Structure 1
Amino acid sequence: MCEKYMKVDFESLPILLQKARESVVLAARQTLSNFELTEQQWRVIRTTYLNGELNAQTLASQSAILGPSLSRILNRLEQDGILLRKISPGDQRELVISLSAKGKRLHQKVQPKVQANYDELSSKLSNNKISQLVGLLDDVIAIDQ
């Protein structure tokens, strides 16, 4: 391994992760701004698209968004006609969130452009390095679970 990487101390790791995140997200953020979406709004749309109906707790967990932020995002996306919220038939206290037809159409427009950003990243790093990175990040995430 390169000497440069062996000298990283524990306090530098969060900074490096944040810098890497910003590098990866930059192109997607620019793409999303063309659709007047934030990165967090897109994560909600994408997660809901992939999972169908979700309750707020599951959506927050799977999209890595804190509850108070998620509440504001849900309100905005519902006002824009992108999301639907209804009371769960199994539990009157629980809300079920899903994409509206408009939300599904929006996803279909945005996803190919976000995928193109990912494809460009893959061409710069190689699929092997991305697979290694994903594996390492999964290992780090699993430490607290």
Structure 2
Amino acid sequence: MKNEPIDDRKSGMSSASPVRRERRSLAIGLLRAREAVMSHFRPILAARDVTEQQWRVIRVLAEAGMLDATEVAEKAFILAPSLTRMIRSLEERGFIAKHKDEADGRRVLLSLAPPGRSLIDEVMPDSRRVYAEIDARFGAGRVEDLLDMLDDLAAIKLNGKPGGEDA
């Protein structure tokens, strides 16, 4: 059934519809897989009153050290306006700290503060447990292969431009 043509009568689509199911949607498949994985992590984060986006910022800073906001936004896949609000909230909660760049006074650098490091340390046992469950059910080798393939996919440029055509 994966590659069967869509029955216009069942789908409500007219035969003139531009959407055809010639193959499965990569974008939707990736979203479905992300949702399956994140459904295990959301309760862990919610119990600590941290959103997925806030967690990504904290993880990026834990892994990379001190970065400017643009670098954090790129590495955490967060739009700059959302990150600006998030920085304020995370700083108020003591998870991150702001620093002036000595070389460029206009540039603000962000780093993980001690409470942010404590949060990482608190979440990691639960995170490791979830990853172990995923490895057990999906296969550790398959997870590594999938991560390699996703890295390769993220590195390509379709039609000479990042992002390529619409999904």
| TM-score of the aligned structures, taking structure 1 as reference length | 0.89
CA distance in 1, matches of 2:36, 2:108: 35
Q: Identify the residue that residue 55 of structure 2 maps to in structure 1.
A: 42
Structure 1 runs of 4+ with >4 Å offset? 7-11
What are structure 1's unaligned runs of at least 5 residues? none
Indicate yes or no: 2:124 matched with 1:117: no
Aligned amino acid, residue 97 of structure 1: L
Q: Identify the residue that residue 133 of structure 1 maps to in structure 2.
A: 146
Aligned amino acid, residue 64 of structure 2: N
Q: Identify the residue that residue 9 of structure 2 maps to in structure 1.
A: none
RMSD between aligned alpha carbons? 2.1
Q: Identify the residue that residue 26 of structure 1 maps to in structure 2.
A: 39
CA distance in 1, matches of 2:47, 2:77: 23
Q: Identify the residue that residue 102 of structure 2 maps to in structure 1.
A: 89
Q: Give % identity.
A: 35
Q: Identify the residue that residue 120 of structure 2 maps to in structure 1.
A: 107
Deviations 1:11-69 (A, max 9, x none): 71111111111001111111110101111111111110111111111111111111111
Deviations 1:76-131 (A, max 9, x none): 10011111011111111111101111111111111221221111111110111111
What are structure 2's unaligned runs of at least 5 residues? 6-20, 163-167
Match of 1:71 among 84, 96, 120: 84
Q: Identify the residue that residue 56 of structure 1 maps to in structure 2.
A: 69
CA distance in 2, matches of 1:19, 1:82: 30
| TM-score of the aligned structures, taking structure 2 as reference length | 0.78
SS at match of 1:90: coil
Rg: which structure is higher? 2
Q: Identify the residue that residue 12 of structure 1 maps to in structure 2.
A: 25
CA distance in 2, matches of 1:128, 1:13: 22
